[in-house]
Amino acid sequence: MMLLLALGTALNAALVTPLMIDLSVNARATAERGGTAVVGGIVTCSAETLVSIEGEVAETLNRSAVAVGTFATEVLCGPTATRWTATVTSDSGVPFKPGFASADVSVVGFDPESGIFSGVQSLVFLHLTRSTQ
């Protein structure tokens, strides 16, 4: 009986379509007056689930000054596009300024139907513009 249950569970897991995640990161971000950067984008999922969005932003200001910071946020994701934003504080002590930076962003979500985690990653170049506030 246990063998049949295990076989049925394994077969069901193999037939379930895995969670599909689509990540878009805006090429324009803002450098806030306090030295933080605000990044954002859109995420969609093939099923309703909570996703974790994490990343790192790095901006080389000159030969010895590099602003680098990490961020993490969670959003509810589903078939309808969901906007996300995150504020990045520089961990290097160098503030973010208007200019160009790179961002490495990943999204991970759990599919309760299949019991499997799915994820995507995106490396983008950002244009940091001055905040209007």
* CATH label of the domain that carries residue 53: 2.60.40.1940
Residue 25 lies in a domain: yes
Give a yes or no: residue 5 inside a domain: no
Is residue 29 one of the residues assigned to a domain? yes
Give domain status of residue 89, yes or no.
Answer: yes
| 47 occurs within a structural domain | yes
Entry pTM: 0.83
CA 23 to chain centre: 7
Answer whether residue 2 is part of any domain.
Answer: no
What would the two tokens of residue 91 be?
């961990």
In 3D, which of 101, 103, 54 has the Cα closest to residue 75?
54
pLDDT range class, residue 113, cuts 50, 70, 90: confident
Residue 12, in any domain of the structure? no
Least confident of 7-11, 70-74, 90-94: 7-11
Hey, is 118 helix, strand or coil?
Answer: strand
Domain membership of residue 84 (yes or no) is yes
> Are the beta carbons of 69 and 97 closer than 8 angstroms?
no
| Residue 57 CB coordination number (10 Å) | 27
Range of the domain at 35: 18-130
Total domains present in the chain: 1
132 has pLDDT over 70: yes
